[in-house]
């Protein structure tokens, strides 16, 4: 590490499990605490997702499909197979549309995100 004045104290609170993880990783690095923390800070990438109205609408549509699946299960368990089959036909196109939109979001989730990268 280059010479620099480190005059800013920094304190965090961790659970027992988080502290054990910190200690294990710090020990494995064979670095000083400050050097390890600075390396960790500079080499990390943090992805912060901002869910847009489009994403929230996708979530709402997924919930609707879940409700429809519950209705299909109720019809099937009650012996109303024609009604269950009709519900399946109704939700099939909605399901395909939602899965396409979900795949698009998962393939490119950072469209509505901010990436904070370290300076390696």
pLDDT of residue 116: 56
Task: Kindly report the pTM of this predicted structure.
Answer: 0.42
Residue 6's pLDDT band (cuts 50, 70, 90): confident
Average pLDDT of the chain to the nearest whole number: 82
Q: Mean pLDDT throughout 96-118?
A: 69
Show the DSSP H helices in 1-120 as ranges.
Answer: 16-29, 33-43, 53-77, 81-107
Residue 109's pLDDT band (cuts 50, 70, 90): low
Q: Is the model's pLDDT at 45 over the cut of 80?
A: no
What's the pLDDT tens digit per position in 61-96? 888 888 888 888 988 898 988 888 888 888 888 888
pLDDT of residue 5: 84
Rounded-to-integer distance, Cα 21 and Cα 15, Å: 10
Name the nearest CA neighbour of 58 among 116, 103, 114, 11.
103
């Amino acid at each position: 590490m280059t010479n620099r004045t480190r005059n800013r104290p920094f304190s965090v609170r961790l659970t027992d499990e988080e502290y054990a993880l910190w200690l294990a990783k710090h020990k494995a690095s064979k670095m000083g605490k400050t050097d390890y923390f600075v390396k960790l800070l500079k080499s990390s990438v943090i992805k912060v997702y901002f869910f847009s109205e489009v994403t929230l609408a996708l979530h709402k549509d997924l919930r609707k499909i879940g409700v429809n699946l519950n209705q299909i299960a109720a019809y099937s368990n009650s012996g109303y197979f024609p009604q269950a089959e009709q519900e399946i036909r109704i939700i099939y196109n909605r399901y395909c549309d939602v899965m396409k939109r979900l795949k698009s979001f998962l393939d490119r989730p950072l469209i509505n995100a901010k990436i904070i990268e370290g300076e390696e």
